[in-house]
Amino acid sequence: MVDEVRQVGPDLYLGIGTWGFTDAQRRIPLPFVLRGPIAPCAGDIGAHKKSFDVRQAIPALHPRRKALITGASAGIGATFAHQLAASGYDLLLAARRGDRLQNLADQLSKQYSVQCEVLSVDLASSDAATVVMDHLDKLNWTIDFLVNNAGLSGHSKFAEASWSQLNGEIQLMMTTLTELTHRIAPGMIERRWGRIINVSSLAALSPPGESLLYSAIKTYVMVLSQSLDMEFKPHGVHVTALCPGFTHSEFHDVMGTRDTANHLPALMWQQPQDVVRAGIAAVMAGKPVCVPGLSNKILAAVMRPMPLWLGYLAGRTFNPFK
């Protein structure tokens, strides 16, 4: 909404209003240039209060903010795309499945009237971050909101898995995530505003079970996010590790664990909309770690203080996917 309008020239007005994350109950004041004539309101309180169609407002000092979402073709990533588009962000969606991305982009552009670009890229490749940054250069975009969401989980024991499988997990969830953050964060710091969500996992706060590398990677993501938030927050940039538990999405279909997942109690599951809403609220509030959902918070509180050997034993014993 726009709260005040001041005339700054012939048929030219400056509106002061709000723009941003209504879902997260955080709005960012921005100025808008409005070109008239603009009719006075009935019962106008002041000489400079005017009525107008806010959709005709043009940001005067700030272009529309831009967001990059990796792993955006489904699940949590696609839900981030919906919620950020609803908040007025232009989007670059990056993932392997280009057809899925394009369908999502078309839907978001039509529904929310935002610019939505897609990039089909294997984020587990060694040059993935360079490919993404080159595409941003072609668009002439700077990123204000980064969501590092792309991920997968192997269930093989470390010594039994192929190096190709393990290296793919490291590249996708550690290297590409870290490089994108490293290359995008300086611009946020220079502009003194930015938000970064790195999707970690409840596994970062829980005993390691069969997927030892996955747990280690997600712990890295959480600790990295905490460290970067401390470094960046004096410059207006916040970093949050989002640590969801079991979330309704295609993740378990892709990983081949759907049958096992279906036998888990309903109270352990969350909808992706709730996970994403909690993550956005956390990063806007400057919280470096977000564990969405009461059951996940309780589980993390119980498991975190366990000695490593006891946590490992519990993880091996009660891991439903072993």
pLDDT per residue over 146-199, tens digit each? 999 999 876 667 888 899 999 999 999 999 999 999 999 999 999 999 999 999
Let me know whether 205 and 290 are in one domain.
yes
Q: What is the pLDDT of residue 245?
A: 83
Q: What is the pLDDT of residue 141?
A: 98
**CA gap 246, 263 in Å, rounded:** 12
Let me know whether 55 and 71 are in one domain.
no
Let me know whether 34 and 168 are in one domain.
no
Q: Is the pLDDT of residue 13 over 50?
A: no
214 flagged as catalytic: yes
Of the residues 218, 220, 233, 297, only one is catalytic, namely 218
Beta-strand pair 269-270/66-70: unpaired
Let me know whether 294 and 151 are in one domain.
yes
Of the residues 13, 89, 112, 214, only one is catalytic, namely 214
Let me know whether 111 and 206 are in one domain.
yes
Average pLDDT, stretch 236-250? 86
Let me know whether 216 and 279 are in one domain.
yes
Number of domains forming the structure of the chain: 2
Inter-residue contact 69 to 147 (CB < 8 Å): yes
> Please, what's the b/e burial string for 268-277 (b: 16 or more CB within 10 A of its CB; e: otherwise)?
eebebeebbb
Number of C-beta neighbours around residue 48 at 10 A: 13
Let me know whether 176 and 273 are in one domain.
yes
Let me know whether 116 and 214 are in one domain.
yes
Inter-residue contact 217 to 225 (CB < 8 Å): no
Task: Give the domain range for residue 88.
Answer: 66-318
Let me know whether 33 and 117 are in one domain.
no
Q: Is the pLDDT of residue 78 over 70?
A: yes
DSSP at 109: H
Q: What is the pLDDT of residue 316?
A: 60
